Amino acid sequence: MGAVALLANPESGSGEADRVEELLRDRGADVSRFSLDEATAVLESEPQRIVVAGGDGSVGCAADVAARAPAPLAVVPVGTANDFARALGIPLDVAQATELAVRGTRTRPLDLGAAGERPFVNAASAGLSPAAARKAHGLKRVLGPLAYTVGALRAGVTAQPLGCQVRCDGDELFAGRAWQVTVACTGAFGGGAGVEADPRDGILDVVVIEAGSRARLALHAYGMRAGRVERHAGVTTGGGREVEVETDKRTSFNVDGELVDAASLRFTVRPHAFEVVAP
């Protein structure tokens, strides 16, 4: 293994990012370590491989760097939810993921989404998802990924539907009130929930859960955990290379676990923008 650029976020999830550099060196990698905001320095180092140690929000930033390098991206998941790793079958164990990062030879091309200027690899949602993320925040260290389920339950009791308009490639997909609007690459979010999406088709998949009773909302929540919410009545689906979401008031969008406040956001996709080291 030649030059490796390690992008590490020591504040992610379990705080194991600091271990990863040592594990990489133990496996023979020539490692240079960078913070997530040092993209220019990473590119100047001309690495043969980029390794990101962090949560889902860190993966999107690292994927953007890998796309520009260009160099394969290896993911060592040390966040709380680690939805990207789950979606791709990347080991959740730090030692096993580091072994794959160094020894892995198989790569997969993946699309890279952007919410405004912020890159993402999984999903961006308005409505219940950011409310659930806020409710889960203080529970992560105690409950781990289960914190997102508890947060979603709490949000479902008090949240109100969001007035919004959704357009895909300029055509209106939905206008009205919705519990949640999700724009997806892998479609994974919330520590095991998700919507159906193909991260290699060059299209952003869109799922709108229309406003309705809280009893039906509980059914939709189960559908997102079971991976089949798109089949439910009261759910609108679509997709496009460019998606616009306008809301009736300034709100929060949950972008791969990071909250972005805006009244509207434009989403775009770069097809096959980066290569990820896969099992």
d(Cα 16, Cα 239) in Å, to the nearest integer?
37
d(Cα 158, Cα 44) in Å, to the nearest integer?
49
d(Cα 80, Cα 86) in Å, to the nearest integer?
12
**Residues recognised as catalytic:** 258
d(Cα 212, Cα 127) in Å, to the nearest integer?
13
pLDDT grade for 154, boundaries at 50, 70 and 90: low
Q: Quick: pLDDT tens for 40-88.
A: 999 999 999 999 999 999 999 999 999 999 999 999 999 888 999 999 9
Q: What was the pLDDT predicted at 147?
A: 43
Rounded to the nearest angstrom, the gap between the alpha carbon of residue 34 and the centroid of all alpha carbons in its chain is 21
pLDDT grade for 139, boundaries at 50, 70 and 90: very low
Which are the contacts of 50, defined by CB distance < 8 A and separation ≥ 6? 4, 5, 7, 42, 62, 65, 66, 69, 71, 72, 73, 74
What's the predicted TM-score (pTM) here?
0.89
Q: Quick: pLDDT tens for 215-271.
A: 676 666 666 776 788 888 889 999 999 999 999 999 999 999 898 999 999 999 999
